[in-house]
Amino acid sequence: MELNGREVHFRRTIWATNAVMQMCPDSDISKFGDLLNGTAPDQILTMAAFITIMSEGYEQAKEFEERRKGNTYTKDPITMDEIMALEDMDVFNQLQTEAVEAWIADAKQTVESQPPKSKKKQKA
């Protein structure tokens, strides 16, 4: 989506997952929903923080990927100040939806793992 003249994206990276876990009670990711059971202002702050984390996750990954290609990339993640300055709740809701969709999509397994090979020697 476009925000303030730039495309914004979201990605669930290890850093982003860790940052979200730190927001949760007991650092338990399964308790993230508990953060959304508070007052409306608390819910907005929680989701704004989630949006900034997911934006930073994308920007960190993009910067790393570009650097590996020999390119330069200047990170430009969404900030809390930028979110709190929004005047349109629909824009906030769209950011929230896209960040959550990225969180879910990026959680899907992308690499097939195989069980470890047995160390037993087979008889011929």
| Torsional class of 31: left (φ above 0), alpha (ψ -120 to 50), beta (otherwise) | alpha
Domain locations along the chain: 2-106
- Residues with pLDDT less than 70, the chain: 109-124
Helices 14-23 and 40-68, packing angle to 10 deg: 160
Question: What tens digit of pLDDT does each residue of 91-100 get?
Answer: 999 999 999 9
pLDDT at 122: 55
pLDDT at 35: 86
The whole-model pTM stands at 0.83
